[in-house]
Structure 1
Amino acid sequence: MQTEAGTPIGAHETESTAPRRRTIALLVLVAVAGYTVDQLTKAWAVRALEPGSPKQVVGDLLQLDLVRNPGAAFSFATNATWVLTIIAIVVIGVICFIARRLRSWPWAVALGLLLAGALGNLTDRFARPPGGGQGHVIDFLRLPHWPVFNVADMCVVTAACLIALLAFRGVGIDGRRQHDVPDDAS
């Protein structure tokens, strides 16, 4: 609805739509950046690395070691690839649903990272052999005493840490802090 003569329709954003648009834009920006880095690094790893032939980057601290992982992190659930595919799809759907209430920049970053990670590994499930939602995820980063992982995994773990921190601090999706309810003085 036009508020003043000559003012373009939709030129005035309400108090609630402007912050929501900015936080959703941040979520999308973080997701696109994380997804792009994940897919580019996986494509490079497939071209440049041979399975079972790790390359040292920083001595034994960081190695590049190409692994095709049918499971989740730590090679968990290797025989349930389709379950992991369904979980990733559900996570993406939940993020899209939650984004309608999003007003918090830290939550936008956390959810953007989670979306990037879920989409990155889901892309592998569909685009990599054997395909059809059961493809193997490309992992290539190895640290000492740690399973091989990829950028999508880093996004998911970082998102989980941020979400836990935000929940611990009582910051809601809408940016409001949950206030402690005082105990009844009896």
Structure 2
Amino acid sequence: MRRLGIVAALVFLLDQASKVFVVFHMGLALDQRIDVWPPYLTFRMAWNQGVNFGFFAHDADLARWLLIGVSLAISAGVAIWMARGRHRPAALVSAGLLIGGALGNALDRVLYGAVADFLNMSCCGIDNPYAFNVADVAIFAGALGLVLYTGKDKTP
């Protein structure tokens, strides 16, 4: 469980530090767009009040508190699941990624009322209109890792 906690804390801190640095220190909140390595990497400011791709953003205040609750419940559920069994180190790392990312996005919702998304990547003539953040990457990787590294035949 120590591994899970360390990974979750590192992801949470990296996510929050990257948001503060890019959005506020670099001024993305005002500029709305900073070309870093166009088109492969651009910072585009997006305050996401819903879930992925802005879904569930129609009632922003209800969605905000509901999504904070869901993030906290999922984080607690995954932590309890990992604490109750023997799991491979990769499963604990995956759980830490998911929990750290979920808590990072939940804190954004508490502080700002929305999640600060700013990473945008496009390639090969395809213009990606969506932005994401470090927490989103960690949540995706953590969920994928939990699928791959847990199960009856995948314990140490």
TM-score by length of 1: 0.71
With over 3 angstroms needed to count, the CA separation of the structure-2 counterparts of 1:59 and 1:107, relative to structure 1, is same
Task: Report which structure shows greater RCO (CA 8 Å, sep ≥6).
Answer: 2
Please give the per-residue CA displacement for 1:35-91, whole angstroms capped at 9, x wherever unaligned: 000000111122111356311112211101121111112111113222211210111
The structure whose Rg is larger is 1
| Number of the residue aligned with 1:57 | 36
| Number of the residue aligned with 2:80 | 97
| Number of the residue aligned with 2:125 | none
Which amino acid in 2 is paired with 1:54? R
Matched, 1:32 2:9: yes
Cα drift, residue 150 of structure 1: 0.6
Matched, 1:41 2:18: yes
- What RMSD over aligned residues (CA atoms) do the two structures have, in Å? 1.9
Kindly indicate whether the alpha-carbon contact (under 8 Å) linking 2:120 and 2:132 is maintained by their aligned counterparts in 1. Answer: yes
**Counterpart among 74, 94, 110 of residue 110 in structure 1:** 94
Kindly indicate whether the alpha-carbon contact (under 8 Å) linking 1:51 and 1:65 is maintained by their aligned counterparts in 2. Answer: no
Cα drift, residue 123 of structure 1: 0.7
**Counterpart among 115, 122, 142 of residue 120 in structure 2:** 142
Which amino acid in 1 is paired with 2:18? T
Kindly indicate whether the alpha-carbon contact (under 8 Å) linking 2:117 and 2:131 is maintained by their aligned counterparts in 1. Answer: yes
Kindly indicate whether the alpha-carbon contact (under 8 Å) linking 2:88 and 2:149 is maintained by their aligned counterparts in 1. Answer: no
Kindly indicate whether the alpha-carbon contact (under 8 Å) linking 2:91 and 2:150 is maintained by their aligned counterparts in 1. Answer: no
Hey, which bits of structure 1, 4+ residues long, moved more than 4 A? 167-170
Kindly indicate whether the alpha-carbon contact (under 8 Å) linking 2:15 and 2:135 is maintained by their aligned counterparts in 1. Answer: yes
With over 3 angstroms needed to count, the CA separation of the structure-2 counterparts of 1:140 and 1:167, relative to structure 1, is same
Pairs aligned (count)? 144
Query: Structure 1: where are the runs of 5+ without partners?
Result: 1-23, 129-134, 177-186
With over 3 angstroms needed to count, the CA separation of the structure-2 counterparts of 1:102 and 1:72, relative to structure 1, is farther
Matched, 1:155 2:143: no
Matched, 1:86 2:64: no
Query: Structure 2: where are the runs of 5+ without partners?
Result: 123-127
Kindly indicate whether the alpha-carbon contact (under 8 Å) linking 1:124 and 1:136 is maintained by their aligned counterparts in 2. Answer: yes
Kindly indicate whether the alpha-carbon contact (under 8 Å) linking 1:113 and 1:156 is maintained by their aligned counterparts in 2. Answer: yes
How many angstroms apart in 1 are the aligned matches of 2:153 and 2:130? 32
Q: Which structure dedicates a bigger proportion of its chain to helix?
A: 2
TM-score by length of 2: 0.83
With over 3 angstroms needed to count, the CA separation of the structure-2 counterparts of 1:137 and 1:64, relative to structure 1, is same
Kindly indicate whether the alpha-carbon contact (under 8 Å) linking 1:50 and 1:65 is maintained by their aligned counterparts in 2. Answer: no
